[in-house]
Amino acid sequence: MFSFINIDENSRIPKYQQIVNVIIQNISNGNLVIDQRIPSINKFSEEFYLSRDTVEKAYNILKERNIISSIKGKGYYITRTKLISKINILFLVNKLSSYKLKIYNSFIDNIGTNAHTDLQIYHCDESLFLNLLNKSKSAYDYFVIMPHFKFDGGKHVSYTEGVIELLKKIPKEKLVILDNFKEGIEGGDIEVFQDFENDIYYALKEAYPKMKKYNNLILFYPTKTVYPYPKRILFGFRKFCFEYNIDFEFFEEVYEDMIIKKGDLFVTIEESDLVTLVKRTREENLVLGKDIGIISYNDTPLKELLGITVVSTDFKKMGEISARMILNKEKGHLKVPFNFIDRASL
């Protein structure tokens, strides 16, 4: 490491600041990497004929900025690899779907050049989430997380005991909860979320006048999937049906040879089910919005292009709001808009 370091005796910059600058520079150009051990205070002072106090002052500044950390009996280690004078953010996403990417891209667009953001995917896996967060909990200024976990054979849970305990160790002012908020769980100072149960309930109520022309309501809601969906979506759907006294059928997926009848109205969650359903509609020479209806959960540009009616969270707004709150140092718990978007398929 010493071959990368130069302390200029003739510089007007204080030597402790030179040490800080040169370590940051070597992290930026890749000479120093995360978890790499750096020389002890004594070794550094001996190598460059500096006082121990000078090196200790530099190391304390680096520790305060969470650039290095110390482990008793082992020494000093690099904690960050992306830093300089920006806000450093860890963005933890449960899956890499088009919806999550829309949130992330909107967040990046709005946070701008003021921050460096590391994106990590934990695939709804509690162990991976805990490992990523534990490893990084002293290395970032903000932790933006979307809490969705697979538990007990594939069920969806918002939080586990292990997750709750770890989140308690992160200062609330550094914690940003996105997408999934749950009453009774102490989260961060910033929470920007959707209300899965009531969102779909009220969106379907808005769609009801156009739904009445159909005879049968069928929901495709997968319960056995790699990335489970919150049961609150199903609860909201059932609440709507019970209130309007609507009988409905429930299926795990759209089968390739599934029988489709005139007067059917389908609600799909997964993209693959929507694709199969549109293909079956065309094979049967049925007209969307006339012979059968489709409402899809969560909007995409392709659904807009195909004229598919949707009920959807405003994912772009979620990214915008959370970035703005970080930049303005705001606090608050905000629910993002959830919309019924009427198109040709209904």
Bridge-based pairing of strands 338-341 and 309-313 is antiparallel
Distance of CA 231 to the CA centre of its chain: 19
Name the range with the highest mean pLDDT among 63-67, 85-89, 253-257, 295-299.
295-299
**Alpha carbon distance 54, 72 (integer Å):** 21
Q: Is the pLDDT of residue 84 over 70?
A: no
How high is the mean pLDDT of the chain? 90
The pLDDT of 225-247, averaged and rounded, is 94
> Considering only CA atoms, which of 180, 171, 30 is closest in space to residue 103?
180
The pLDDT assigned to 144 comes to: 96
> pLDDT confidence of 325, banded at 50, 70, 90?
very high
Residues 6+ apart with CB under 8 A from 255: 276
pLDDT tens track for 8-49? 888 888 899 889 888 888 887 778 888 889 999 999 999 999
Q: What percent of the chain has a predicted confidence (pLDDT) above 90?
A: 62
> Considering only CA atoms, which of 186, 181, 223 is closest in space to residue 198?
181
Total length of the chain: 346
Collapsed DSSP state (helix, strand, coil) of residue 26: helix
> pLDDT confidence of 184, banded at 50, 70, 90?
low
Instruction: Tell me which of 196 and 85 has the higher pLDDT.
Output: 196
The pLDDT assigned to 181 comes to: 78
Collapsed DSSP state (helix, strand, coil) of residue 334: strand
**The model's pTM:** 0.75
Q: Is the pLDDT of residue 85 over 60?
A: no
Q: Is the pLDDT of residue 169 over 80?
A: yes
The pLDDT of 128-140, averaged and rounded, is 84
> pLDDT confidence of 80, banded at 50, 70, 90?
low
CB 183 within 8 A of CB 335: no
Q: Is the pLDDT of residue 82 over 80?
A: no
What separation, in Å, do the N-terminal and C-terminal C-alpha atoms of the chain show? 65
Give the gyration radius of the chain's Cα atoms: 26
CB 155 within 8 A of CB 124: no
The pLDDT assigned to 81 comes to: 57
**Alpha carbon distance 331, 196 (integer Å):** 22
The pLDDT assigned to 66 comes to: 77
The pLDDT assigned to 332 comes to: 93
Q: CA 176 → CA 69, 135, 240, 293, distances in Å?
A: 24, 18, 31, 38
DSSP string, 118-162: EEEE-TT-HHHHHHHHHHHTTT-SEEEE---EEETTTEEES--HH
Which uninterrupted H or E stretch holds 59?
A: helix 52-64
Q: Which domains does the chain have, with CATH numbers?
A: 2-78 (1.10.10.10), 87-193+315-335 (3.40.50.2300), 197-313 (3.40.50.2300)
> Considering only CA atoms, which of 88, 97, 211, 113 is closest in space to residue 146?
97
DSSP state of 114: G
Q: Is the pLDDT of residue 100 over 60?
A: yes
Collapsed DSSP state (helix, strand, coil) of residue 53: helix
Q: What angle do CA 81, 139, 335 make, to 5 degrees?
A: 115
Q: Is the pLDDT of residue 223 over 90?
A: no
The pLDDT of 211-228, averaged and rounded, is 92
**Alpha carbon distance 296, 303 (integer Å):** 8
Instruction: Tell me which of 295 and 33 has the higher pLDDT.
Output: 295
The pLDDT of 209-220, averaged and rounded, is 96
